[in-house]
Amino acid sequence: MRSVYVLFALALGTAPVAAEDWGQWLGPKRDAVWNEKGLVTKFPKDGPTVVWRKPIAAGYAGPAVVGDKLYIMDREKAEADPKNPPPKGTLPGNERVLCMNVADGKILWTHSYDCPYTNVSYPSGPRTTPVVDGNRLYTLGTMGDLLCLNAADGKPIWSKNFVKDYKAPVPAWGWSAHLLLDGDTLVALVGGDGQAVVAFDKKTGKEKWKALSTKEICYSPPIVTEAGGKRQLIVWLSEALYSLDLATGTEYWKHKHPDAGEVARPAVSIITPKRAGDKLLVSSFYHGTLCLTLDKDKPAATVAWRSKSSYPKPIDGLNAVMTSLLVKDGHVYGVAGMGELICQKLDTGAVVRTGDEIFGDKAAFCGSVFWVDAGGVVYGLTDQGDLVILKLSPEKCDVLASAHVLEPTHAAKGRKAVWAHPAFADRRVYFKNDKEIVCVSLAVG
């Protein structure tokens, strides 16, 4: 489809605008960077162009967009049989994987499977973004169903279930850490003694290696980064941040967070580790931010700075909940636990400013923004369903545009919120609540 578009543009004598897929969590390089050009920096008076809206079931999972197809997960509730009620704490229902046409939102195929939720907090639906790899699609459901499907028709190729196959304990908020695909290796946080992290062969599902033990695997998606002459798998579990050899699972280094090791439970290691130059950062609601300096000569890391306080004391500086960190011009930007927009210096952690430009001066407990860095500006969707265009600087946050495009439908922390993360592709943004999925154009003209 992209080749046809380029040829058509050339035939008209116009310069084609490069289109970019969004085939996994946080985009092509898993870094929340959007490289497409020809994007609006303000909205028309009547708001941005809505290309289509389609009904969808509940869940927190965001879409993956590759070529002319969109892939997403949701969950349909089922009525319990009154004559044979399920055990206490069990909610019947089906998880689904949907393939949709990006042009009009038409469903092309559906793969559905029985998936009762048992003792899961916030049981609306799946949490993770599918991973698209050519003709294969990988998904991970709330109860640990790992699927490899044919991307063309949704037929199963192989599958695992972390509860049945690994006897893994169900996390408090279900399996939420997005899958990582690197070459022929698919990495998942599984859980259990010696198997917190498991690497699978992407073609067969055969286990390659497993590593680490932890009380809670938590929800932070792993990343791969190169430093000290090695490609390192970075994994943040409830007690510590780890670096592993991607080929074998051998541990290179670890740093506790918090440093005292007294983790507030259930643990909330949620955001994706952020690499910026020689720095590597994570941040949590209870324990604030940890910034490491990666060694340039060997796979090792030292503490550059960390938050000076920890729960139950007030956190100094940023204590991010779900909003990924952005780093621009030597500064770290994040959304703290009450919705505050905080800017800190990358090298020292010194707090530069705290602002209320996104959620206003009223505390927004667990207030979140799903945003991407597009160079000069930042595009984001707030958990209130507002599509925003921001210009961040250490001095201020300019809200260049804001439009309410989606109703918050999910009750969370005393507020209604949208917790499903969007995808940014083809100069469009795709996002959902518990009732509909929406495609909005951000293209100039």
In order, the DSSP letters of 300-322 are -EEEEEE-S--TTSPPSS--BSS
Torsion angle, alpha carbons of 58, 64, 70, 75, to 10 = -20
Q: Where are the domains of the chain?
A: 43-58+323-444
- The top-level CATH class assigned to 43-58+323-444 is mainly beta
Report how far residue 187's alpha carbon sits from residue 199's, in angstroms, rounded to the nearest whole number: 5
Report how far residue 50's alpha carbon sits from residue 372's, in angstroms, rounded to the nearest whole number: 20
For residue 273, which of 189, 191, 367, 379 has the smallest C-alpha distance? Answer: 189
Per-residue pLDDT of the chain (445 residues; tens, 9 = 90+): 444 444 434 444 444 445 789 999 999 999 999 999 999 999 999 999 999 999 999 999 999 999 999 999 999 999 888 888 888 889 999 999 999 999 999 999 999 999 999 999 999 999 999 999 999 999 999 999 999 999 999 999 999 999 999 999 999 999 999 999 999 999 999 999 999 999 999 999 999 999 999 999 999 999 999 999 999 999 999 999 999 999 999 999 999 999 987 899 999 999 999 999 999 999 999 999 999 999 999 999 999 999 988 888 889 899 999 999 999 999 999 999 999 999 999 999 999 999 999 998 888 999 999 999 999 999 999 999 999 999 999 999 999 999 999 999 988 888 899 999 999 999 999 999 999 999 999 999 8
Measure CA of the first residue to CA of the last residue in the chain; give whole Å.
21
The CB density around residue 61, as the number of other CB atoms within 10 Å, is 31
Q: Are 27 and 424 in contact (CB under 8 A)?
A: yes
- Polymer length of the chain: 445
Report how far residue 81's alpha carbon sits from residue 177's, in angstroms, rounded to the nearest whole number: 32
For residue 270, which of 230, 306, 328, 319 has the smallest C-alpha distance? Answer: 319
Report how far residue 407's alpha carbon sits from residue 53's, in angstroms, rounded to the nearest whole number: 12
Amino acid found at 64: A
Report how far residue 108's alpha carbon sits from residue 75's, in angstroms, rounded to the nearest whole number: 17
Which residue pairs from 293-298 have beta carbons closer than 8 angstroms and sit at least 24 positions apart in sequence? 294/225, 294/227, 294/228, 295/227, 295/228, 296/227, 296/228, 297/228, 297/229, 298/228, 298/229, 298/230
Report how far residue 402's alpha carbon sits from residue 435's, in angstroms, rounded to the nearest whole number: 22
For residue 335, which of 345, 344, 327, 325 has the smallest C-alpha distance? Answer: 325
pTM greater than 0.85 (yes/no): yes
User: Which residues touch 13 (CB under 8 Å, ≥6 apart)?
Assistant: none
Report how far residue 24's alpha carbon sits from residue 389's, in angstroms, rounded to the nearest whole number: 22
